[in-house]
């Protein structure tokens, strides 16, 4: 094996950030010089798609590419007409989908087995008998972040009881702004959609710190996030008015989910009654009901219908379910894990298109027979393309 | 550009590509292996090559001094695309077989149960920026290049994600202790 993998070890540290650093499973990956040379040769002398922008035959390639594009467009139009798909619909050229970086819903269960018992390379998803085979259509909506987030942010600050909020210049990320009150701060974030984050002023040390001798030790001062005794009824009583007050125009909040022992409650966002993956309002309290942390969405400005697109059926979209190359635990078996997807609900994924447009993209959220949750884009695959190019840095 | 200049530029581009491959292919391979554990080395090398195909197409856009984070940004998309693309997925999966019983990257993270719970309780963007920082060693300027965001945003997101990691870790530990004491 050409990589240098580490045995799992448990360092004598209590700082989870250092534990995470120490858990890095691969120190290095060696590629021998002959393979690197082969790679270079294959790329510069390979197929036309591998040729660089300065190739001496660039004009020939450009001409060829234009001709190929025209043929593809013609073929695509004919294929769409032949298949009955509306020919006027633009292909959804996705740059990134908010929830696509990891295969499963955060906090989802393992795919069987326990720690140190992994080793399964693939997950095969199969449709359960109750998944519908019916196709449908749904609207895609595009939206913009508010041009000036200060007004909706001020509304949130007021709803959360921030006293005498003062605008902090330009925020600290170029597109957001901050409001600093007497005991708490509220600031907006920009990625991938505009959201607000509320924090009370905390001690500078958050949980653990490094002392002069370089040892990781617990903070001497009491720390804000360590309460866990609130009941569900209390969390509901405290969070309901706050949730109602911060719900942005155009969105609604769904039923709350309570995290046992964490004094933490989450409300999913909905648009037109459909849940938006990754969009939620979160509230975390002390045992006495003091709001310690919260975050939620700012209102998207004027969602507009991008078009009504054909959706593949929940049964067929199983082929699009993500999550096969990432392994989360395992059974110790050498054969792939099969997960049966038993039911589906239609949701929206927040996606950024290659032209920068943010859209709400119809998707299916599946319940797996193993207790996991998985998503797949529901728009007909013939109308979706995904690039491999990186986004330009600002 | 006349023909002579084009040849010169092409030659320079090829030299730069060679330097990029020699200098950064192992790091890109390590990143891909961490994220796609336990793919075999040959499959990783194929993905590495796909990354440098993009670099070759955009050789003039690879920022000097920030080559690795730029390449990691490409590698993230190559991997995402491989995971989502039908044909690529099938081609990959037809060869992807475990070579031995190995724990996944996240299982190794989970040498501590509390850390496992904590890591999975974080949002996707938090997990991504934490792994890029603590595993790839990227600092805010490099994170900005890899993620295509501004440096200030990268710094804020990293700070916030680290705070949440620590906060949730402590809560997970306290909850476990409380649950255990209630049992006994």
pLDDT single digits (tens) A120-165: 345 678 899 999 999 999 999 988 766 677 777 788 888 888 877 7
Chain B residues within 8 A of A387 when measuring between CB atoms: 77, 81
Contact present, A264 and A298 (Cβ < 8 Å): no
Q: What is the value of pTM for the model shown?
A: 0.56
At residue A118, the pLDDT reads: 33
In percent, the amount of chain B with pLDDT more than 90 equals 24
C-alpha angle B59-B63-B67 in degrees, rounded to nearest 5: 90
Tell me the C-alpha distance between B151 and B144, whole Å: 5
At residue A339, the pLDDT reads: 79
Which of the four pLDDT bands, split at 50, 70 and 90, describes residue A351?
Answer: confident
pLDDT at B77 over 70: yes
Per-residue model confidence as pLDDT tens digits over A95-120: 656 553 323 322 232 222 222 333 33
* A 60-119 near B (Cβ less than 8 A): 96, 98-103, 106-108, 115-119
Q: Best mutation site among B78, B90, B96, B108 for testing chain A: the one with the most A CBs within 10 Å? A: B108
At residue A341, the pLDDT reads: 92
At residue B149, the pLDDT reads: 72
Q: Is residue B172 packed enough to be buried (19+ CB in 10 Å), middle (13-18) or exposed (0-12)?
A: buried
At residue B181, the pLDDT reads: 63
At residue A164, the pLDDT reads: 76
pLDDT at A181 over 90: no
pLDDT at B88 over 60: no
Q: Which residue has better confidence, A18 or B87?
A: A18
Across the range A198-202, mean pLDDT stands at 66
Q: CB–CB of A323 and B83 under 8 A? A: yes
Per-residue model confidence as pLDDT tens digits over B110-120: 446 677 667 76
Contact present, A347 and A274 (Cβ < 8 Å): yes
Tell me the C-alpha distance between B69 and A118, whole Å: 30
Per-residue model confidence as pLDDT tens digits over A35-83: 999 999 999 887 444 444 444 333 343 444 444 444 444 444 444 444 4
Per-residue model confidence as pLDDT tens digits over A202-225: 555 555 566 777 766 666 554 455
At residue A90, the pLDDT reads: 75
Residue listed under structure tokens 């390449």: B71
Which of the four pLDDT bands, split at 50, 70 and 90, describes residue A1?
Answer: very low
If you write DSSP's letter for every residue of A117-184 in order, what string do you get?
------EEEEE-TTS----EEEEEEEEE--S-THHHHHHHHHHTT-SS-EEETTTTTSS--EEE-SSE
The answer to whether A225 faces chain B, any CB pair under 8 Å, is: yes
* A 7-46 near B (Cβ less than 8 A): 8-10, 15-17, 19-21, 23-31, 33, 35-36, 39-40, 42-44, 46
At residue A37, the pLDDT reads: 93
Per-residue model confidence as pLDDT tens digits over A261-306: 667 788 888 998 899 877 788 888 888 888 877 878 876 667 788 8
Chain B residues within 8 A of A8 when measuring between CB atoms: 103, 107-108, 111
Which of the four pLDDT bands, split at 50, 70 and 90, describes residue A391?
Answer: very low
C-alpha angle A138-A267-A275 in degrees, rounded to nearest 5: 10
Which one of A29, A36, A121 has the shortest CB-CB distance to B22? A36
List the single range of A83-97, A183-197, B96-110 with lowest mean pLDDT. Answer: B96-110
At residue A157, the pLDDT reads: 84
Which of the four pLDDT bands, split at 50, 70 and 90, describes residue A237?
Answer: very high
Per-residue model confidence as pLDDT tens digits over A310-338: 999 999 999 877 543 333 333 333 445 67
Q: Which residue has better confidence, A349 or A5?
A: A349
């Amino acid at each position: 094996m050409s990589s240098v993998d580490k045995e799992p070890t448990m360092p004598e540290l209590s700082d989870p950030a250092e534990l995470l650093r120490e858990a890095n499973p691969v120190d290095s990956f060696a590629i021998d010089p002959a393979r690197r040379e082969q790679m270079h040769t294959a790329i510069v002398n390979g197929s036309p798609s591998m040729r660089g922008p300065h190739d001496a035959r660039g004009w020939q390639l450009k001409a060829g590419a234009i001709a190929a594009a025209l043929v593809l467009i013609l073929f695509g139009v004919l294929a769409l007409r032949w298949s009955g798909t509306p020919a006027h619909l633009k292909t959804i050229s996705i740059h990134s989908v908010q929830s696509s970086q990891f295969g499963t819903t955060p906090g989802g269960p393992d795919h069987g087995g326990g720690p140190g018992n992994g080793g399964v390379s693939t997950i095969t998803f199969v449709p359960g008998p109750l998944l519908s085979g019916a196709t449908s259509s749904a609207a895609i909506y595009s939206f913009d972040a508010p041009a000036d987030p200060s007004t909706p942010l001020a509304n949130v600050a007021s709803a959360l009881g921030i006293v005498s909020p003062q605008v902090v210049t330009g925020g600290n990320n170029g597109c957001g702004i901050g409001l600093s009150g007497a005991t708490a701060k509220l600031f907006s974030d920009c990625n991938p959609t505009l959201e607000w984050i509320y924090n009370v002023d905390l001690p500078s040390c958050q949980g653990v710190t490094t002392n002069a001798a370089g040892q990781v030790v617990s903070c001497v001062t009491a720390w804000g996030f360590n309460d866990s005794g609130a009941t569900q009824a209390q969390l509901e009583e405290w969070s309901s008015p706050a949730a109602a007050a911060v719900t942005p125009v155009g969105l609604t909040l769904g039923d709350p989910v309570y995290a046992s022992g964490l004094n933490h409650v989450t409300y999913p966002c909905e648009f037109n009654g459909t849940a938006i993956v990754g969009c939620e309002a979160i509230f975390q309290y002390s045992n006495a009901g003091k709001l310690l942390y919260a975050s939620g969405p700012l209102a998207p400005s004027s969602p507009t219908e991008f078009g009504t697109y054909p959706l593949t059926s929940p049964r067929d979209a199983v082929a699009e379910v993500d999550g096969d190359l990432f392994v989360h635990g395992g059974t110790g078996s050498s054969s792939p894990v099969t997960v049966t997807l038993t039911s589906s609900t239609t949701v929206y994924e927040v996606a950024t298109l290659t032209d920068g447009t943010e859209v709400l993209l119809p998707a299916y959220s599946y319940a797996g027979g193993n207790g996991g949750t998985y998503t797949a884009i529901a728009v007909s695959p013939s109308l979706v393309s995904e690039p491999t190019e990186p986004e330009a840095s600002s | 550009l006349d023909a002579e200049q084009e040849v010169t530029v092409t030659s320079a581009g090829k030299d730069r590509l060679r330097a990029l491959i020699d200098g950064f292919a192992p790091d890109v391979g390590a990143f891909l292996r961490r994220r796609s554990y336990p793919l075999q080395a040959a499959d990783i090398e194929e993905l590495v090559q796909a990354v440098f195909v993009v670099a070759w197409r955009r050789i003039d856009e690879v920022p000097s001094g920030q080559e690795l984070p730029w390449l990691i940004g490409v590698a993230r998309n190559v991997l995402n695309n491989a995971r989502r693309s039908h044909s690529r997925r099938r081609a990959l999966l037809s060869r992807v077989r475990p070579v031995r019983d190995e724990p996944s990257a996240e299982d190794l993270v989970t040498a501590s149960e509390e850390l496992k719970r904590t890591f999975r309780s974080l949002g996707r963007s938090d997990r991504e920026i934490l792994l890029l920082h603590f595993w790839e060693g990227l600092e805010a300027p490099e994170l900005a290049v890899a993620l295509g965001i501004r440096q200030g945003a990268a710094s804020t997101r990293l700070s916030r994600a680290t705070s949440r990691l620590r906060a949730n870790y402590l809560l997970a530990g306290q909850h476990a202790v409380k649950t255990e004491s209630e049992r006994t």
